[in-house]
Amino acid sequence: MKKRKTIDYSLYFVTDRGLSGGRATLDVVRAAVEGGVGCVQLREKACSTAEFIAQAAAIGGFLKSRGVPLFINDRLDVALAAGADGVHLGQKDMPLAMARAIAGRRLLIGVSAESVQDAVAAERGGADYVSASPIFATPTKTDTAPALGLEGLQAMRRRVNLPLIAIGGIHRGNAGEVIRGGADGVAVVSAIAAAAEPARAAQEILREIRNARQA
Specify if 23 maps to a domain.
yes
Specify if 6 maps to a domain.
no
Instruction: Note down the domain range covering 143.
Output: 11-214
> Looking at the 3D structure of the chain, how many domains does it have?
1
Specify if 183 maps to a domain.
yes
Specify if 4 maps to a domain.
no
Cβ(175)–Cβ(186) below 8 Å: yes
**pLDDT, tens only, 4-59:** 568 999 999 999 999 999 999 999 999 999 999 999 999 999 999 999 999 999 99
Which residue out of 20, 112, 131, 190 is catalytically annotated? Answer: 112
Specify if 112 maps to a domain.
yes
pLDDT of 141 > 80? The answer is no
Residue 103 belongs to domain with CATH number: 3.20.20.70
Catalytic site residue 213? no
Catalytic site residue 23? no
Which residue out of 2, 100, 106, 141 is catalytically annotated? Answer: 141
Which residue out of 10, 17, 43, 75 is catalytically annotated? Answer: 43
Specify if 3 maps to a domain.
no
Specify if 1 maps to a domain.
no
The fraction of the chain above a pLDDT of 90, given in percent, is: 92
pLDDT the model gives residue 1: 36
pLDDT of 129 > 80? The answer is yes
Catalytic site residue 190? no
Mean pLDDT of the chain: 95
**pLDDT, tens only, 145-172:** 899 999 999 999 999 999 999 999 999 9
Specify if 126 maps to a domain.
yes
